[in-house]
Amino acid sequence: MPGLLRGVARTAVVAGTATAVSNRVSRRQAGRWAQQDVAATERYAPPPATAPAPPAPGDDMSSKIAQLKELGRLKEEGILTEEEFAAQKSRILAS
């Protein structure tokens, strides 16, 4: 019986050691892959977005007209009340 117990104990130690080594290798690989992902992301990241150019004076008026037409359509469909329509219209015209 003592020989059997010694064999079981040895097997448990070997299995525990193998599991610990395997876990350490997995964590190390995951760390390396994470570093590679960060490096690749930094290398291939798109350039920072720039602010859009301000619209030309003629474009500003045409965009206001388009907004007012859309606002009128929403009012006709009953989506906007008269008060909401007036408030949005004055906001558009003031800008």
Tens of pLDDT, residues 67-93? 889 888 888 988 888 998 999 888 888
Cβ atoms of residues 74 and 92 within 8 Å = no
Average pLDDT over residues 48-60: 58
DSSP secondary structure, 25-93, as one string? HHHHHHHHHHHHHHHHHHHSPPPPPPPPPPPPHHHHHHHHHHHHHHHHHHHHTTSS-HHHHHHHHHHHH
pLDDT at position 62 is 84
What pLDDT, on the 0 to 100 scale, is given for residue 56? 56
**CA 11/CA 16 separation, integer angstroms:** 8
Those residues whose C-beta lies under 8 Å from the C-beta of residue 89, and which sit 6 or more positions away, are 68, 71
Question: Which is higher by pLDDT, 57 or 12?
Answer: 12
Q: Which token pair is 17? A: 């050691």
pLDDT per position as a tens digit, 28-50? 888 888 887 777 666 665 656 56
Locate 65 and state its tokens: 């007209």
What integer pLDDT is reported at residue 26 of this predicted model? 85
pTM of the model: 0.39
Mean pLDDT confidence for 54-61: 62
